Amino acid sequence: MRNTEYNARTLARKRIKSVVLYVLLIFVAIVMLYPMVWLFGASFKNNAEIHSSIWFMPKSFSLQPYIDGWKTGSQYTMGHYFVNTFKIVIPRVIFTVISVTLTAYGFARFEFPFKKQLFALLIGTLLLPNIILRIPSYLMWNWFHLLDTYAPLTLPALFATDALFVFMLIQFFRGIPKELDEAARIDGCGRFMTLIRILVPVIKPAITSIALFSFMWTMNDFMGPLIFISSVEKYPITIALRMSMDATGAGYDENRIIAMSIVSLIPSIVVFMCAQSQFIDGITTGSVKG
């Protein structure tokens, strides 16, 4: 009898703890997600209502902010700036995936002179602030006469400049047994075909994660296009959004800017949702399964 009462009390305590934990988690989730919910609701409000209420639900829905925001204040629509953005994003993601995979494969599977020193140098670049590279990069691309083109924003990705991604893939390669390479070599595969046919399918989650990170970081890049691009017709969406404001930060329609900010988030959200399962696998695993 006592054991039954004890078990009932223990079960009741566990249920209470679970309820309290879930309530706390829901509260934290609401606090963290509310700004995004408010942002979405504010895109349908007028400017007066945006400044007068923190409630996300507009008193009356209006698509006018999206219509006006899409037209922009220049001779080009937001669609034009989206196309420009993808002219940067797509090549950069492709170049990053290819160069990072080849570089990580070399470090993980080959022995060559000064390998340890070069790897240390690679890791050392992770500690290097990006801002100190701006002036040398600007001078170099100016010397190549490639300013006001997309080359400074895409071509560096051909040389595995994202050391974090290289380091991530090296860890994945090291987690794959070398017996797979030997078996592929026995079957007649060369080094390159071993990478393509054997290793790349195994590290697909990691490659997906790298592509996803590269996509989102490039979509959100503001400083790079601001420095290297000077023609309005070549601006990406990040510069176009800032261009919609005046120099003082006043006198513009907040609802129009918010509406276009929501639209600019859609590609990243769609890509993330499509690659969600592979992304989670890439973050949580670093070795062969099964």
Q: Do 136 and 26 reside in the same domain of the chain?
A: no
- pLDDT one-digit tens code per residue, 161-214: 888 899 989 988 888 888 888 888 888 888 888 888 888 888 888 898 899 999
Average pLDDT on 35-55 reads 82
For residue 4, is pLDDT > 70? no
Q: Do 136 and 157 reside in the same domain of the chain?
A: yes
Asked which of 39, 67, 95 is the last residue of a domain, the reply is: 67
Q: Do 55 and 84 reside in the same domain of the chain?
A: no
In a domain, residue 114? The reply is: yes
Residue whose C-alpha is closest to residue 180's, from 68, 59, 288: 288
- pLDDT one-digit tens code per residue, 51-103: 777 777 888 788 888 888 888 777 888 899 999 999 999 999 999 999 999 99
Range of the domain at 259: 72-284
Beta carbons of 94 and 215 less than 8 angstroms apart: no
Rounded CA gap, 239 and 243, in Å? 6
Structure pTM? 0.83
- pLDDT one-digit tens code per residue, 98-136: 999 999 999 988 888 888 899 888 888 888 888 888 889
CB atoms within 10 A of CB 191: 14
Beta strand extents in the chain (DSSP E only): none
Q: What are the two backbone dihedrals, phi and then psi, of residue 245, each rounded to the nearest 5 degrees? A: -95, 160
3-state secondary structure of 208: helix
Beta strand extents in 109-223 (DSSP E only): none
Domain containing 164 — which CATH number? 1.10.3720.10
Average pLDDT on 140-159 reads 93
Rounded CA gap, 36 and 43, in Å? 11
Q: Do 273 and 192 reside in the same domain of the chain?
A: yes
Q: Do 32 and 83 reside in the same domain of the chain?
A: no
Asked which of 67, 93, 114 is the last residue of a domain, the reply is: 67
